[in-house]
Amino acid sequence: MKRKMWGNTPYFHGQWLKIGLFVLFFMTACAGLSGCAGNPEVKQISDNGNLLFYNGPVYVKNRQGQYVAYLDRTGGTWLHELESDRKVLVHNYDEMTRPSNGLADDHAAPAIIAMDEDDILFATAYHGSDLHLYRIRDMKVVESKTLKGSYTYPMFFKHKDVVFLFVRDYSGEKNGGDFVVFRSSDNFSKNTVVIPSKNSEVIYAAVPFIDDDGILIGYAIHRYADNSMRDFHVASFGFDFQEKWACNLTHLVEGAFYNRPTAIAKKDSKILLGTSYFDEASFLMAEKMVFSQKNRVLIVEWKTGNCESFHEVYEKEVEAPYYNTDVHINESLDFIFFGESDYFSNLNLDGCFLGVRNIYPRFVLRGFLVFARMNGDFYNIRSFDNSLYRCKSVGDGFYSR
């Protein structure tokens, strides 16, 4: 008797039809997802939390947990542990906010860094005020210190066992603002001027990048004479804070009236520097209504050679939220910034962002970012209403486009 092969039966054809339909469904559904690995996980951290372009980092991880620091709209600065959802009010600026109807200045947003596996260092300054430092362990303040002066924009960077605290120091004598640094090696007891300002000028610097070769800083200079910030600079310093080299990149932002560098990073021998700039007419209108004016975002690259080797690798004109667009670049040289309703990145971050008016993106780990979002259609330096979110990839990380 001839054996009948099961593969030729109606049952066989029915099963293959079902498999084919399933595969077709999966491929169709997967087409809209990042790397076919599933939608990223998006969670709200706070419905009352804000960041700021220079102040950072905003995230740390140690053996106690994962933490984010932020400012609320009435002047509370918070440390929030993500997994347990515990949070602690570290410093409250209620005495500063009373004259302004109880609303905080957004420059008071805190910065954090892991001192070791247990302790977190937390810094905040209220837009030209004393600089407050807190050491926190298991959500409790175990040590605090106030550095008297007129400070703005605290920025941490840790290299090996030393924590560097960069900040702008306003000097009333010359009506200027120097870019200075404190170090943990002397318990933040004194500062060193890294980039000095001239009379009636203020340094605006991106969070520096530090590796074994030294310290990289991208910056511009605000001039009180016409309230402009037209130029664009990058400089390298040794660990003695003596300048090793410097480049004037102002020719790359031709036509800028207000240029604000916000990011610099290095991987191997490649440097990426991110900035955004307004022309004069757009700058004068930008703070009157959110996302009403466009600014130009520029990402500049350097590999080898002299200052002329810095060149544009990415350029985009987008709606600015209020201040200049905040460009963020991580240690892998991935970048991200927002328009009013879109994000722009070399990575596929689809599914991370909710609606419109997202601001202040921060890559904090591979496959993990934090960002703020306006709850309404209004933002002001002393009247903001934002929520804070995190987005985590499914799998090993976000994929390149």
pLDDT digits (tens, 9 = 90+) for 68-121: 999 999 999 999 999 999 999 999 999 899 887 899 999 999 999 999 999 999
Alpha-carbon distance of 268 to 211, in angstroms, equals 10
Q: Does residue 4 lie in a domain region?
A: no
pLDDT at 12: 43
pLDDT for 250 beyond 80:
yes
Q: Does residue 9 lie in a domain region?
A: no
Interacting residues of 348 by C-beta distance below 8 A, sequence separation 6+: 34, 35, 398, 399, 400, 401
Residue 63, domain extent: 44-392
Q: Does residue 39 lie in a domain region?
A: no
Q: Which helix (H) or strand (E) holds 369?
A: strand 368-374
How sure is the predictor about 2, in pLDDT bands with cuts at 50, 70 and 90?
A: very low
Looking at the 3D structure of the chain, how many domains does it have? 1
Mean pLDDT for the chain overall? 91
Q: Does residue 55 lie in a domain region?
A: yes
Cα angle: 322, vertex 323, 329; to 5 degrees? 120
Average of per-residue pLDDT across 171-188: 93
Alpha-carbon distance of 126 to 105, in angstroms, equals 7
Q: Please state which of the ranges 21-25, 48-52, 321-325, 387-391 shows the lowest mean pLDDT.
A: 21-25
Of 82, 224, 219, 247, nearest to 153 (Cα)? Answer: 219
Q: What is the CATH number for 212?
A: 2.130.10.150
> Do you find a cis peptide bond into 57, omega within 30 degrees of 0?
yes
Q: Does residue 93 lie in a domain region?
A: yes
pLDDT at 14: 53
Half-sphere exposure of 201 (CA within 13 A, CB side): 15
How sure is the predictor about 171, in pLDDT bands with cuts at 50, 70 and 90?
A: confident
Q: Does residue 11 lie in a domain region?
A: no
Give yes or no for a contact between 71 and 110, defined as CB atoms under 8 angstroms apart: yes
